[in-house]
């Protein structure tokens, strides 16, 4: 399911609009993106293509810190 969502991903982070290639890849990570749930799992959201988008790890990190 996660791979299907990624297949629909744009070529850049939809939050900060940086190309994936412009985003530095930290050594401890394998990918530059994380999966962002439109409806959080905690509110009944599911990990499926309509509810998941790829955003870069730094946007996801900021988002999680704001919650
Ligand atoms: Zn981003």
What pLDDT is stored for residue 27 in this prediction? 92
**Residue range 14-64, pLDDT digits in tens:** 999 999 999 999 899 999 998 888 898 999 999 888 899 899 999 999 987
Distance from residue 65's CA to the centre of ligand 1 (Å):
14
CB 47 within 8 A of CB 6: no
Quick check: 67 pLDDT over 80?
A: no
Q: What is the mean pLDDT of residues 5-16?
A: 75
Map out the domains of the chain as residue ranges.
2-66
What secondary structure does DSSP assign to the chain, as a single string? -HHHHHHT--SB-TTT--BGGGS---TT-S-SEEEEESS-GGGT--SSTTTEEEEEHHHHHHHHHH-
Distance from residue 62's CA to the centre of ligand 1 (Å):
9
Ligand 1 ion: residues within 5 Å (CB): 13, 15-16, 56, 59
Structure token digits, residue 19 = 């190309």
């Amino acid at each position: 399911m996660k791979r299907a969502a990624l297949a629909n991903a744009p070529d850049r982070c939809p939050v900060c609009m940086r190309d994936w290639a412009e985003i530095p890849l930290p050594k401890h990570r394998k990918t530059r993106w994380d999966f962002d749930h439109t409806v959080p799992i905690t509110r009944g959201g599911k990990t499926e293509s309509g509810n998941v988008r790829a955003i870069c790890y730094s946007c996801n990190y900021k988002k999680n810190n704001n919650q």
